[in-house]
Amino acid sequence: MMTLISSIMISFIVPMLVMIIASILSKKSINDREKSSPFECGFDPKSSARMPFSLQFFLIAVIFLIFDVEIALILPIVIIMKTSNIMMWTASTMFFVLILLIGLYYEWKQGALNWAN
């Protein structure tokens, strides 16, 4: 019992010490404006170093991720069809597909699927 308590104490104390030492050693002593600005051959930058981010690209990427996860969730539904109650399987599958279709309709009405803009 004593070894369990000592191992739990060690597993809490050692990471805390490592985090404290890392936070002490990683502090910057001087915040210099030149060092924190983007490097451009020693001169002040002419324009912003950051490129504008396309919100349309972000929305399409999120929609792709949602439908990618949808496919990962639909694949096991076909496999469990043989081993489950057919009425419960049909109801749960239709409910899942209905939620996805409502989400697609919402994205369509919000204009996230318009490629022309």
Ordered by start, the domain boundaries in the chain are 55-110
Are 63 and 107 within 8 A, CB to CB?
yes
What band does 34 get if pLDDT is binned at 50, 70 and 90?
Answer: low
| pLDDT score recorded for residue 28 | 62
Lowest mean pLDDT among 9-18, 46-55, 65-74, 107-116: 46-55
| Count of beta carbons in the 10 Å neighbourhood of residue 77 | 14
What residue type is assigned to position 84 of the chain?
A: S
pLDDT at 106 over 80: yes
- Output the pTM of the full model: 0.47
| pLDDT score recorded for residue 113 | 73
| pLDDT score recorded for residue 94 | 92
Q: 32-66 burial string, b = 16+ CB within 10 Å, else e?
A: eeeeeeeeeeeeeeeeeeeeeeeeeeebeeeeeee
